[in-house]
Amino acid sequence: MSTSPAASLRAANDVLAPNDLEAWWLPFTANRSFKRRPRMVARAKDMHYYTPDGRAVLDGVAGLWCCNAGHNRDAIVSAIQAQAAELDYSPAFQFGHAGGFALASRLAAMAPGDLDHVFFCNSGSEAVDTALKVALAYWNVSGQGSRTRLIGRERGYHGVGFGGISVGGIVTNRKHFGTLLAGVDHLPHTYSREHQAFSTGEPEWGAHLADDLERIVTLHDASTVAAVIVEPMAGSTGVLPPPKGYLQRLRQICDRHGILLIFDEVISGFGRLGHAFAAERYGVTPDIITFAKAVNSGTVPMGGILVSSRIHDAFMKGPEQTIELFHGYTYSGHPLACAAALATLDLYRDEDLFARTRRLEPAFGAAMMSLRGLPNVLDIRTLGLVGAIDLASRPDAAGARAFEAMDRAFQEHGLMIRITGETLAVTPPLIISEDQIGELVDKLGRVIRAVA
């Protein structure tokens, strides 16, 4: 049956400005508030989103820590289109394709130390659960099956799988879902406003907090501890840079007790802190790195882990026809995601975006700190191209001031920012110019004054 021109026009309009918002239950969203006052985007290019009526919105969050190379870059779009026309899907169970192997080799070459093997999945949450499963399985195949305990950190965010929220330490992500995984403990978080307020870069205070790992190990005995997982920079909780020397101490304690160290670099990977991975910035090589988001600038869902040769090789035993690890996903190493990632890595290299982040970091930090002294600003933190502003709560309305700021920024000032509680977070694409940094901070200042 043919479709009339009028029906086709209505369908096109529904895509840009749908009349019915009820069916989509949005994640991590105040759905009732959103559907009364929607914040809709229709397209994106480089540093901007555009609303259905064509209004430009400066992207202050790189999508969701994802679009480090900017939006709709021609080389990435072309790579996805070409791949879709050639090989739309290939099973990763017992079969492979050239793009997956090429990407794994590129990632292994970028990673520090002997993190020479890649296991692909589809998101940061899956990457974390994969890393935890690999850590547990590694000790099993190595004859130390008693090592089952996992250690995360308060205020840590490791996605929304049951493993990730178990080792994670954000209470709202945990409290509704029962007892979660057993045998999990948590390090203290690393933030102290008293000692660290208005820090640019890594704060001086806090390295000693890593020593709490010794207390946990003593409590449970090292022979029961499989792995410690931390974000080098805690991102989703409100941007908590690591204190100077903190990550190095964690590595030393893990080495002393034979514990695996996992860096969750879903947010910090691919240039956000000025290097391919935060591990390089801090000179600390973990045993496993998780990645996702910016690996292909957020264009096609993809995640994965990088593991050391020691871990990988422990599984490569027994008859060659035997599956070594009973784990994986239907879309592991999806051809379109791999093509997008290869094109993205080319852009990072050709435009030297990681080094560009290092060059922009001082100017970005200074611009963010210029907002100190505005009404209700309690703290500002910056690291790489990441910034956070803590606002004072209104009496009996925790989170209301930041929520209003996020809404006003989009609706009235053409700026997209992210909020966590009363924290405003900005994490722009790495292609941002110094003029656009000024524009972003100017808009932030107007928003903060508006919600005073």
pLDDT single digits (tens) 426-439: 999 999 999 999 99
Give the domain extent around 275.
76-350
pLDDT over threshold 50, residue 386: yes
**What integer pLDDT is reported at residue 7 of this predicted model?**
53
Question: What DSSP element (H or E) covers 350?
Answer: helix 335-350
**What integer pLDDT is reported at residue 404 of this predicted model?**
98
pLDDT over threshold 70, residue 447: yes
pLDDT digits 0-9 by tens, 319-352: 999 999 999 999 999 999 999 999 999 999 999 9
Chain centroid offset of residue 359 CA: 22
Same domain, 126 and 38: no
What CATH number is associated with residue 215? 3.40.640.10
405 Cβ contact list (under 8 Å, min separation 6): 391, 417, 419, 424, 447, 448, 450, 451
Domain boundary pick from 323, 350, 377: 350
pLDDT over threshold 80, residue 186: yes
- In order of 16, 79, 127, 328, 335, the CA distances from 332 in angstroms are 31, 18, 11, 7, 9
Same domain, 104 and 173: yes
Instruction: Please tell me the total count of domains within the chain.
Output: 2
Same domain, 230 and 191: yes
Question: What DSSP element (H or E) covers 386?
Answer: strand 386-391
Same domain, 101 and 44: no
Same domain, 207 and 300: yes
Same domain, 322 and 366: no
Domain boundary pick from 297, 329, 350: 350
Closest C-alpha to 190, from 208, 172, 217, 170? 208
> Are 297 and 77 a contacting pair, CB within 8 Å?
no
> Are 129 and 163 a contacting pair, CB within 8 Å?
yes
Q: Does some domain include residue 4?
A: no
What CATH number is associated with residue 406? 3.90.1150.10
pLDDT digits 0-9 by tens, 214-270: 999 999 999 999 999 999 999 999 999 999 999 999 999 999 999 999 999 999 999
Same domain, 146 and 285: yes
Q: Which residue blocks in 176-238 are alpha helix, DSSP H?
A: 193-196, 212-220
pTM of the model: 0.95
239 Cβ contact list (under 8 Å, min separation 6): 233, 381, 383, 386, 387, 388, 423, 425
Closest C-alpha to 252, from 197, 211, 295? 211
The backbone torsions φ and ψ at residue 314, rounded to the nearest 5 degrees and listed phi first, read -65, -25
**What integer pLDDT is reported at residue 1 of this predicted model?**
46
Same domain, 54 and 185: no
Q: Does some domain include residue 3?
A: no
Q: Does some domain include residue 400?
A: yes
**What integer pLDDT is reported at residue 375 of this predicted model?**
98
Domain boundary pick from 350, 370, 388: 350
Q: Does some domain include residue 1?
A: no
